[in-house]
Amino acid sequence: MDRIGMLFPESLREPWKGVRISRDDLREIRLRAQQPVLLLMRDGEWYPDAVGGGLSRGSGNAPRPTKRDLDRIVAHLSRYSLYACEEEMRRGYLSAAGGIRVGIAGEVIPGPDGTVRNIRNVGSLNLRVAHERKGAAGRLLSWLYEDGRLCSTLILSPPGCGKTTLLRDIIRLASDGNRLAPGVTVGVVDERSELAGCFQGVPAFDLGSRTDVLDDCPKAPGMMMLLRAMSPGAIAVDELGGGEDIRAVLQAVHCGCSVLATLHADSWESLSRKAALEPLRRERVFERILLLKKESGRFFAAQIRNGEGVLMEENVPC
């Protein structure tokens, strides 16, 4: 718990001293002004017990941060350098050390053109703990390679089902080499510092020995930068977005790169309904599409399809 306690300023660490949590079990810490602190663990919701120590299913003894406490936590997590997190804050989060992403909600300061300039009066924080599960992609590998070549792969799932964790392990295995193919150079465009968990340029997670990370970089220009400068065999991005991202993916594939990407979608059908992806579907850019599901705290590939949409395998555990 010491590392979790470090997320808070010294003056707010007291309630966490008796709490022992394994990082592997912890998913999120939810902090809301005047509300009990809530921990989302592998086995459900728990509250830290500030009186007896440990965890409790009841919220009675859970600390209730004030709005000022939340401000101090934000200042602390930004290492007293909020200006350095301006872009991230604009997008609603902060990156903290150790691959922890802090979602922020509060009063939005609008920009002149209807965009978000910043967030003030922070009312809620979601400290999301990223996980590294080495070997998560091991059983899927044989579907991801064809004649020793890494197929461009799209990973679909609803939020919280392990897309990023799986992508991280595929990157590592592709980069280090595996039983099906030797390692290739993998370029990662980590727009939200989630994949590599970089803090001040140093990745917190093992992405393999042939991996180059562009941290905190928008996906489309990042992919172009990697193509021009780093000669990647594969490019990985998390959470594909709009038209610019799609065009960059097409360009990468036309340059002979494999693309590994994730996307929010809860079914094969919902993927088909996303109009922005039409160019990718038309050109059959993704040769493998994995749909992840989660049951009883474990995630698995519910469907593995090829580029034509033909089902290749079902229910492969990760």
Partner 1 sequence: MLKALGLCLVAAGAAGTGLSVCAERGQRVLQLARLSGLFTEIAGEIAYSRAGLSEILTALGEKMRDAGDAVLGTALEEIGAGLETGGELCALWQEKMGDYAARGALRGRERKLLLSFPGSVSFPDTERQRTAVEFFAAELNREMEAARAREAEENRMTMAVCLAGGALAGLLLL
158, 302 Cβ separation under 8 angstroms: no
Contact stretch for partner 1 (CB under 8 A) within 78-86, 221-229, 247-255, 285-293: 78-86
* Cβ-based nearer residue to partner 1, 20 or 120: 120
Cβ at position 58, least distance to partner 1 in Å: 29
Cβ at position 222, least distance to partner 1 in Å: 18
Counting contacts by CB under 8 A, is residue 10 touching partner 1?
A: yes
Cβ at position 255, least distance to partner 1 in Å: 31
* Cβ-based nearer residue to partner 1, 86 or 244: 86
Edge-first strand order for the sheet with 44-48 is: 55-56, 44-48, 38-41, 26-32, 116-129, 100-110, 93-96
Interface pick for partner 1 out of 64, 76, 274, 293 (rule CB under 8 A): 76
Question: Which of 227, 225, 229, 234 has the alpha carbon at shortest distance from 176?
Answer: 234
Give DSSP secondary structure letters for 175-236.
HH--SSS----EEEEETTS-SS--BTTB-SS---TTEEEEET--HHHHHHHHHHHT--SEEE
Counting contacts by CB under 8 A, is residue 89 touching partner 1?
A: yes
Binding mask 181-200 for partner 1 (x = CB under 8 A): -------------------x
Interface pick for partner 1 out of 22, 83, 269, 310 (rule CB under 8 A): 83
Q: How far apart are CA 2 and CA 141, in angstroms?
A: 36
Counting contacts by CB under 8 A, is residue 9 touching partner 1?
A: yes
Edge-first strand order for the sheet with 234-237 is: 211-215, 186-190, 234-237, 258-264, 153-157, 288-295, 298-306, 311-317
Binding mask 20-59 for partner 1 (x = CB under 8 A): ----------------------------------------
Question: Which of 172, 237, 182 has the alpha carbon at shortest distance from 211?
Answer: 172
Contact stretch for partner 1 (CB under 8 A) within 73-81, 154-162, 239-247, 307-315: 73-81
DSSP 258: E
Strands 153-157 and 149-150, bridge-based pairing: unpaired
* Cβ-based nearer residue to partner 1, 145 or 199: 199
Q: List residues near partner 1 by CB under 8 A.
A: 6-7, 9-11, 75-76, 78-86, 89, 118, 120, 200
